[in-house]
Amino acid sequence: MSQPPNCVADFEALAKARLPADEFEILASRAPGNETLRRTPLAFDALALRTRVLPGVANADLSVTVLGQRLSVPFMLAPAGYHTRAHPDGELATARAAASVGTLMALATNSGHPMEDVAKAAGGPKWLQTYIFRDRDHTKELVERAEDLGFVAICVTLDGYWPAKRQLAAKGSRRGGEASDGSRTPLKVLGDPRNTWADPEATWADVERLKSITTLPIVCKGIMTAEDARLAVSCGADAIIVSNHGARLGTTLASIEVLPEVVDAVGGRLEIFLDGGVRRGADVVRALALGANAVLIGRPIFWGLAYNGEHGLADLLDLLREEVEMCMMLCGRATIDSIDGSVVARAPDLEERL
């Protein structure tokens, strides 16, 4: 691609060309059947934006408050492991890029750089992502380190207690598991279920215990049903992330499809964020219209880093900001708070394809 990237998809294409094939396949690895990843863009596109004219304002205000932190944009960087797969600076570059556009990053426990180094890399708010580990003392130790380093929230991933299947590329492959000799890498569970970091026997009582060991807000990631949303509320969570963990199961609904039922179940009692499939400014506005307070992006982090490290990711985030601003203004909404359900309409022709 000779021209600079003009959309998030362009960054993905550049990342595929620049990264070693096996690294890109790990980042893009898919679950068996791949139904969820196929339906996610259709689910977003089934929500058409309703444009308005003559709003009487010259500029859009994209700022939003997330758990008391004022951000310049309504999107954040989701926790994802080992940003060093895409660039040697990894999470250090991500922290700097996030700060440059006025948003926050959620640092994954399995980071390519120590938590302490990421905290020093740039200003701006940061969350620490963790699990309910089999070793509860390890969970406590991570939370205490995060508090000491000035992290502003703890994001606990609730759906990581069982490993998923992924189709990974065979050696020498650039085509989703098929090698040059025609052989294919079999689908396999990534990891031994008996040895997961996260405890399969964890319960909602562990979320309550996590609340008791920290004064930081607790964000529960991996909520996909109204039932679990209500349980998160009852356990004292401060926010939830509607997320299907990168479509890891392959046969779930898209996050954007379950967002309305979660919003309805929560009833404004805590903040709700959406993670999964956000690739355009229109996707951000669609999620906000359905009741999300903000969204997170995951895989695009790696594409921006692979393009040009910190500056590549900052470029991607700036592009996304411009797209959100354009959609807001053309829909006649100059502030995030003014975005509501009337901004979107169901597109029957696309809904029929779901």
At 160, is the secondary structure helix, strand, or coil?
A: coil
Distance CA 330, CA 346 (A): 18
**Other CB atoms closer than 10 Å to residue 96's CB: what's the count?**
21
Q: Give the residue ranges of DSSP H helices in 190-338.
A: 204-212, 226-234, 255-266, 281-289, 299-330
* Active-site amino acid positions: 245
Distance CA 315, CA 3 (A): 14
**Other CB atoms closer than 10 Å to residue 323's CB: what's the count?**
19
For 337-342, the CB contacts below 8 A with 24+ separation are 339/285, 339/288, 339/289, 340/289, 341/289, 341/290, 341/291, 342/50, 342/289
At 250, is the secondary structure helix, strand, or coil?
A: coil
Identify the H or E element spanning 100.
helix 90-101
Residues 6+ apart with CB under 8 A from 151: 107, 119, 126, 127, 128, 216
As given in the structure block, the two tokens for residue 115 are: 């938590």
For 298-336, the DSSP string reads -HHHHHHHHHHHHHHHHHHHHHHHHHHHHHHHHTT--BG
At 205, is the secondary structure helix, strand, or coil?
A: helix
Give yes or no for a contact between 287 and 274, defined as CB atoms under 8 angstroms apart: yes
Q: Count CA atoms within 13 Å of residue 223 on its CB side.
A: 31
